[in-house]
């Protein structure tokens, strides 16, 4: 039965669209307001899109709305990291057990698919080029700007869901209320999108089913495959210093630097200079705040509540998991928004804080450690432990990426305990065969059996 409560979702991106579909399936009428034009009918302009790594938490959310199989057709499984050193030598690190993968998907393609689903729902109304200017928190009166006409107008929904991103205007209004805690921190790094085009025959110029990393200590580049044979490359680079975005000012400086540092990739990037100087630099921000709710009338979720840096591939997956958790609470508590929002915040806040911290840590790992022989040896030893003690040991990455029932906070705690075990263990290990030493096996037996 259709319910009379007026719901507004601010933001028509990935999380906003998914949430609107969940709400519609619960019998609510939903208005979705998006600041940008309809990306299905307008070229929004590229140059700032990190390809998404869709993993188990995200797939679970897509399966519940029946879109998972359609997305799988345009998603490319990545079974491993491939590290490229300065001489073009490759080393390989599987992401999980045999057959486990994360999936490269186009942000725009996935958003379009979700918009199509939302538009097909008779109880969802999509409103584009509608920008939130301010929310009067006491009354839920929202001042909106129609960016086409330049005219302001007002809406007063019963409940507002803020899925309007890291720079949420709804959250900005909440920040002006008493006892609202807000913290944002930027890395001293920005990112820039570059491209490796398809081969002449339309195929992929690098291993297709892998996430490629060029780790270089204080900076790095990654590449994710696309269905058209290209790779979307993202260069994570300091804003200032030498080298940095600031220090590379001419095509000659850029080409010289890339040929020295990323020689195998540079040979595959004919438009490097044009893309580097034309594409914008994106910033990398972590946002934590509390509360996420105001009485039973406003709720923040996705990046509006907990923006994270992209180095664990969990930003979208965490936002989708928000929707999964919220869906369960809606079924359990019906129209009791106060209880739904409070419980949602209590459940999700510790977990989104955990994945935010893990994402920053994983930047250091990807940038520095994946090129370190000791680190790679430790990963091989961890794989042996997993095989020997499958019920007691799962690598942290697998806990986060392939264990959708395990909360992020528990994964972090388990990972910290395992890291302490590895710290002691690696004192006895210089090569892979040392795993069989009696003292190594006795220590593992004492810790894990």
**The pLDDT of residue 4:** 84
**The pLDDT of residue 43:** 74
**The pLDDT of residue 49:** 62
Cis peptide before 291 (omega within 30 of 0): yes
Residue 235: closest CA among 278, 166, 282: 282
- Whole-angstrom distance, CA of residue 349 vs CA of residue 357: 13
Asked if 92 and 37 count as a contact pair (C-beta separation under 8 A), the reply is no
**The pLDDT of residue 285:** 96
What's the pLDDT tens digit per position in 55-65? Answer: 999 999 999 98
Give the Cα-Cα-Cα angle 23, 24, 30 (nearest 5 degrees): 80
Residue 364: closest CA among 322, 318, 311, 417: 311
**The pLDDT of residue 345:** 98
DSSP, res 194? E
Place of tokens 């989708």: 320
- Whole-angstrom distance, CA of residue 396 vs CA of residue 308: 18
- Sorted by sequence, the CB contacts under 8 Å of residue 334 that are 6+ apart come out as none
Q: What is the DSSP string of 218-282?
A: S-EEEEEE-TTS-EEEEEEEESSSSSSTTT--SHHHHHHHHHHHSHHHHTT-TTHHHHHHHSPPE
- How many CB atoms sit inside 10 A of residue 46's CB? 12
Percentage of the chain lying above the pLDDT 70 cut: 98
Tell the burial category of 196 from Cβ atoms under 10 Å away from its Cβ (0-12, 13-18, 19+).
buried
- Sorted by sequence, the CB contacts under 8 Å of residue 245 that are 6+ apart come out as 190, 192, 237, 238, 239, 281
In angstroms, the first-to-last Cα distance of the chain is 53
Buried b (16+ CB within 10 A) or exposed e, 304-325: bbbbbbbbbbbbbbbbbbbbbb
Q: What is the DSSP string of 381-399?
A: HHHHHHHH-TTT---HHHH
Asked if 76 and 228 count as a contact pair (C-beta separation under 8 A), the reply is no
- Which helix (H) or strand (E) segment is 155 a member of? strand 152-155
What's the pLDDT tens digit per position in 80-115? Answer: 999 999 999 998 989 988 899 999 998 888 999 999
pLDDT per residue, tens digit, the chain (449 aa), is 668 899 999 999 999 999 999 999 999 999 999 999 999 998 765 555 668 999 999 999 999 988 899 899 889 999 999 999 999 999 898 998 889 999 999 888 899 999 999 999 999 999 999 999 999 999 999 999 999 999 999 999 999 999 999 999 999 999 999 999 999 999 999 999 999 999 999 999 999 999 999 999 889 999 999 999 999 999 999 999 999 999 999 999 999 999 999 999 999 999 999 999 999 999 999 999 999 999 999 999 999 999 999 999 999 999 999 999 999 999 999 899 999 999 999 999 999 999 999 999 888 877 777 778 898 899 899 999 999 999 999 999 999 999 999 999 999 999 999 999 999 999 999 999 999 999 999 999 999 97
């Amino acid at each position: 039965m259709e319910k009379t409560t007026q719901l507004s979702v601010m933001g028509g991106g990935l999380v906003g669209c998914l949430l609107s579909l969940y709400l519609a399936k619960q019998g609510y009428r939903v208005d979705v307001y998006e600041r940008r034009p309809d990306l299905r009918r307008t070229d929004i302009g590229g140059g700032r899109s990190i390809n998404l790594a869709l993993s188990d938490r995200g797939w679970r959310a897509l399966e519940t709305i029946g879109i998972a199989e359609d997305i799988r057709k345009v998603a490319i499984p990545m079974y491993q990291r491939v590290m490229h050193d300065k001489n073009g030598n490759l080393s390989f690190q599987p992401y999980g057990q045999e057959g486990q993968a994360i999936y490269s998907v186009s942000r725009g393609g996935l958003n379009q698919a979700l918009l199509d689903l939302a538009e097909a729902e008779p109880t969802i109304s999509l409103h584009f080029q509608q920008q939130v200017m301010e929310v009067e928190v006491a009354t839920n009166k929202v001042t909106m700007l129609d960016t086409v006409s330049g005219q302001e107008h007002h809406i007063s929904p019963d409940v507002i869901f803020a899925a309007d991103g890291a720079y949420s205007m709804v959250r900005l209004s909440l920040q002006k209320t008493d006892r609202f805690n807000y913290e944002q921190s930027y890395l001293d790094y920005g990112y820039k999108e570059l491209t490796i085009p398809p081969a002449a025959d339309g195929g992929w110029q690098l291993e297709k089913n892998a996430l490629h990393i060029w780790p270089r200590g204080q900076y790095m580049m990654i590449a994710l495959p696309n269905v058209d044979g290209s790779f979307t490359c993202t260069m994570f680079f300091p804003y200032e210093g030498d080298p940095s975005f600031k220090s590379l000012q001419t095509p000659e400086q850029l080409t010289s630097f890339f040929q020295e540092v990323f020689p195998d990739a540079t040979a595959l990037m004919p438009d490097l200079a044009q893309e580097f100087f034309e594409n914008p630099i994106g910033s990398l921000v972590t946002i934590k705040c509390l509360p996420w709710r105001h009485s039973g009338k406003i709720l923040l979720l996705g990046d509006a509540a907990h923006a994270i840096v992209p180095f664990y591939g969990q930003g979208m997956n965490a936002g989708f998991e928000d929707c999964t958790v919220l869906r369960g609470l809606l079924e359990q508590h019906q129209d009791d928004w106060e209880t739904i929002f409070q419980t949602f915040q209590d459940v999700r806040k510790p977990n989104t804080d955990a994945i935010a911290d893990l994402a920053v840590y994983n930047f250091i790992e990807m940038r520095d450690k994946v090129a370190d022989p000791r680190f790679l040896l430790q990963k091989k030893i961890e794989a042996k432990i997993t095989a020997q003690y499958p019920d007691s040991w799962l690598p942290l990455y697998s806990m986060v990426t392939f264990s959708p029932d395990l909360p992020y906070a528990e994964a972090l705690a388990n990972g910290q305990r395992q890291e302490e075990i590895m710290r002691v263990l690696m004192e006895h290990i210089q090569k892979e065969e040392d795993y069989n030493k009696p003292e190594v096996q006795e220590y593992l037996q004492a810790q894990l059996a």
